[in-house]
Each structure stands twice: as C-alpha cells, then as structure tokens.
Amino acid sequence: GAGVSQSPRYKVAKRGQDVALRCDPISGHVSLFWYQQALGQGPEFLTYFQNEAQLDKSGLPSDRFFAERPEGSVSTLKIQRTQQEDSAVYLCASSLAQGGAEQFFGPGTRLTVL
Amino acid sequence: GENVEQHPSTLSVQEGDSAVIKCTYSDSASNYFPWYKQELGKGPQLIIDIRSNVGEKKDQRIAVTLNKTAKHFSLHITETQPEDSAVYFCAAINTGNQFYFGTGTSLTVIP
C-alpha cells in the first residue's frame, strides 16, 4: 500500500552543508506536517501545510530551516548551514482532513551532522 | 502553548499482565488525543485515539480513558504480548492543529 514515504532514509552532512529532505504524503491527503525527533524524545512539531499553504511554521527552530510544498503534494524540508544540534530524525506525517484527524507518519530521515 | 507530560518513561511487565501509561495536558482547548506506537527505526503508528466528547474508547486489548476536568488521559493494554514491546507516545492536538507529543514510554513485555 502507498503510505507516507521519505527520502533519504539516512543523511550524513558535514557541519555547514545544506541538506534537503523529501516527503511524499499519501495521495489526496490535504494536511502535511514535519516533526523533529531527538534521540529518546517525542516528536516536536516544526511546521504544517494545508495543501500548498504553510499555515504554521512556529516550530521551526531557526531561519536556517525552510519548508515548502509548492504543488500541494510532495514537500521538502531544507536546512541550511547545518549544525551538530540539527542531528535528529525528521518525521513527516499527512492527514486526509484539516485538524484533529489521524496523522500517518513516514519512516523518517535520520540526519547526522558531523 | 500545550504541555504534555507522560509517565512512566520505562515500564516492564510480564506477558499476560496489564500495562498503563498516563499523560497530562495543560491546554483545556485541546480536543483530540491520539496514542502512537513506535518501533525501532520506524515512524509512529496510531493505535487508538479519543476525542474530548468521549470518556472512554476500547479496541480489543487496548483502551483509552479521558478525564477532561483533570486534563489527563491514559492508555491501557491488557493481556500484553511480547510484540507489544515498543515506545508509546501520547499526544494532544490544540485548535491550531499542532500535535504536542509526550516524551514516550518504553514498554518491555517479558515472555
């Protein structure tokens, strides 16, 4: 079945490099969410899209983080000038409807910044 | 913003026993409370959820209870099996559609 997919699954970057993480949501899902999950912690909200509109980006930790979903389907999370503290698993989730609906998570991208 | 606390952080039970995980939340406007199971190297998977107009919901061996007045909700797993071993997260969604997750409970079911 076609669930949420993310690529790459693993990414190693040198400090200062830019990275781009991709999320393919379930077809037809309106809402898309990005989360950051540090080791041993729960996912922390980063940003939320409804179709192509980014409705909430309050969780993005700095202006080095940027997310887009230009056609309302695939989304990319970009991190510029990566720092060691950016090392985490980045999870993407999608849901069929707006708000209060079940979120389906992808497997995540594990980012390691050296 | 919302603050979700989860206890315990680790839990070990004998196979066949029950497991209970508790969460509290702070934002009285939160109205949707899902529970997720996360296995190593995988994304969280929804196992049960409850909305604020319901006090209890059950699905086979899994149940969730919600006390809106006290702002806490609990996950109950009965007749635990080794395959129930995983990390469990509670979450609360607020009116801004943000999910706030607890810090997780690592459940180990001992055969």
Q: What is the pLDDT of residues B45-55, one digit of tens each?
A: 999 999 888 89
- In three state form, how does the secondary structure of A64-85 look? CEEEECCCCCCEEEEECCCCHH
Mutate to test the interface with B, among A45, A91, A109 (most CBs of B within 10 A): A45
Query: What's the pLDDT at A100?
Result: 57
pLDDT of B5 higher than 60: yes
CB-CB: which of B43, B96, B98 is closest to A107? B43
Cα distances (Å, whole numbers) of residue B67 to A67, B31, B63, B75? 36, 12, 14, 12
- pLDDT tens-place string over residues B65-108: 999 999 999 999 999 999 999 999 999 987 667 789 999 999 99
Q: What is the C-alpha to C-alpha distance for residues A78 and A83, in angstroms, rounded to an integer?
A: 13
Q: What is the C-alpha to C-alpha distance for residues B62 and B76, in angstroms, rounded to an integer?
A: 6
Nearest Cα residue in chain A from B102: A42
Q: What is the C-alpha to C-alpha distance for residues B108 and B80, in angstroms, rounded to an integer?
A: 10
Residue A16 φ/ψ, nearest 5 degrees: 100, -15
Contact of B88 with B109, CB cutoff 8 Å: no
pLDDT of B2 higher than 90: no
User: Using a CB-CB distance cutoff of 8 angstroms, which residues of chain B are in contact with residue A59?
Assistant: 98
pLDDT of B29 higher than 90: no
With CB atoms and an 8 Å threshold, state whether A56 touches B89.
Answer: no
pLDDT of B14 higher than 80: yes
Block mean pLDDT (10 aa), chain A, length 114: 90 98 95 94 93 93 96 97 97 83 91 97
| Residue B111: both structure tokens together | 């055969």
